[in-house]
């Protein structure tokens, strides 16, 4: 199987490229290889290639930056996926487009199902939702996978930033009234594989199980570090309200937990709880640094 990974310089793309290269013929492209604002370059790069699957994990994900750069956000998050979807359709190849929990407004209090109405609050969310629609409209074979709070060994994420701060100071704080689910890149790589091997298409939610606030996520990470004897100054993560974050520009959904029931029903795979994944990540990739 021939696979192309777009966004291989990012946290998820790097993990996918590494994990899939052990089994498949993988070509991985970073931003230096292909700029998603250059649609002609995308066509020029991909048209001569033969491939069976393309995974687009690249996106403009800085939520606040997107608010002030709407055209750039829609070019990268909407128009580029549209072009990729069309190219894949021409080649009878499958596209897996990575999307986000930010397509929802956060007013729910139970996990979002794939069929729930998407009403994004931000330019970032709007551009990602429009990208979903372009991909799904190009071919019935394509898959849009919504994910949230991604962490993994290839690039620092929230959990790494918390641990680094806890090494340097006893004062660590995180938001306690915004909820979603951490998603481990190494788990996600195998869930995506299960999805395409089952020929899944359309919309699919893929995260670890459970839910938490940023504060609960940070506290658990610090607890794991102490359990393994990692020297940290901080022991307790103090609570912040989302309203305390005066530097934020874009509005965020306060509850964006995604239900993975559809994935489990159609593949027989039950994603493990986020706590188990975080504990493994810290033990395997943080403690040994």
Of 177, 202, 181, 205, the C-alpha closest to 191 is: 205
- pLDDT(279) > 90: yes
pTM for the whole structure: 0.94
| Longest pairwise C-alpha distance within the chain | 56
From 101-110, 137-146, 233-242, 257-266, the region with the lowest mean pLDDT: 233-242
Residue 246: predicted pLDDT: 76
79-93: pLDDT as tens digits: 999 999 999 999 999
- 166-171: Cβ within 8 A, 24+ apart: 166/222, 166/225, 166/232, 166/233, 166/234, 167/231, 167/232, 167/233, 168/233, 169/233, 169/234, 170/233, 170/234, 170/235, 171/234, 171/238
Residue 289: predicted pLDDT: 63
Average pLDDT on 95-118 reads 96
Residue 34: predicted pLDDT: 87
Residue owning tokens 């002030």: 68
Q: Is 29 a catalytic residue?
A: no
Residue 243: predicted pLDDT: 85
171-206: pLDDT as tens digits: 999 999 999 999 999 999 999 999 999 999 999 999
Which of 248 and 43 is assigned the larger pLDDT? 43
Question: Active site residue: 102, 124, 220, 281, which one?
Answer: 124
* CA neighbours closer than 13 Å in the CB half-sphere of residue 48: 3
Of 3.40.50.720, 3.40.50.2300, 3.90.1150.10, 3.90.79.10, the CATH number of 2-155+183-209+257-272 is 3.40.50.720
Residue 135: predicted pLDDT: 97
Pairing of strands 172-175, 237-240: parallel
Mean pLDDT score of the chain, rounded to an integer?
94
CA–CA distance, 210 with 129 (Å, rounded to integer): 24
Residue 234: predicted pLDDT: 87
- pLDDT(69) > 70: yes
Q: Is 259 left (phi over 0), alpha (psi -120 to 50) or beta?
A: beta
- pLDDT(116) > 80: yes
CA–CA distance, 276 with 74 (Å, rounded to integer): 36
Quickly state the pLDDT bin for 248 (edges 50, 70, 90): confident
* Structural domain boundaries in the chain: 2-155+183-209+257-272
Residue 202 CB neighbour total at 10 angstroms: 13
């Amino acid at each position: 199987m021939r696979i192309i990974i777009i966004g291989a310089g990012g946290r998820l793309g790097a993990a996918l490229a590494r994990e899939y290269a052990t089994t498949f013929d993988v070509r991985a492209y970073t931003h230096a290889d292909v700029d998603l604002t250059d649609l002609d370059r995308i066509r020029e790069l991909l048209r001569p290639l033969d491939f069976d699957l393309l995974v687009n994990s690249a996106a403009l994900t800085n939520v606040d930056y997107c608010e002030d750069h709407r055209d750039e956000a829609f070019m990268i998050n909407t128009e580029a996926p549209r072009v990729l979807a069309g190219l894949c359709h021409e080649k009878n190849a499958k596209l897996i487009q990575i999307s986000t929990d930010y397509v929802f407004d956060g007013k729910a209090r139970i996990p979002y199902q794939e069929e729930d109405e998407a009403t994004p609050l931000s330019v970032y969310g709007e551009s990602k939702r429009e990208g979903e629609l372009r991909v799904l409209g190009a071919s019935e074979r394509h898959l849009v996978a919504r994910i949230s709070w991604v962490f993994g060994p290839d690039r620092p994420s929230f959990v790494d930033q918390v641990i680094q701060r806890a090494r340097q100071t006893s004062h660590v704080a995180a938001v306690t009234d915004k909820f979603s689910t951490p998603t481990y890149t190494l788990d996600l790589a195998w869930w995506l594989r299960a999805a395409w091997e089952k020929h899944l298409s359309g919309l699919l939610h893929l995260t670890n199980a459970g839910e938490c606030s940023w504060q609960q996520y940070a506290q658990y990470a610090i607890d794991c570090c102490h359990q393994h004897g990692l020297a940290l100054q901080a022991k307790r993560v103090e609570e912040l309200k989302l309203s305390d974050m005066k530097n934020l520009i874009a509005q965020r959904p306060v509850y964006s937990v995604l239900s993975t029931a559809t994935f489990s029903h159609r593949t027989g795979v039950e994603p493990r709880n986020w706590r188990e994944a975080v504990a493994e990540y810290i033990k395997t990739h943080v403690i040994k640094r």
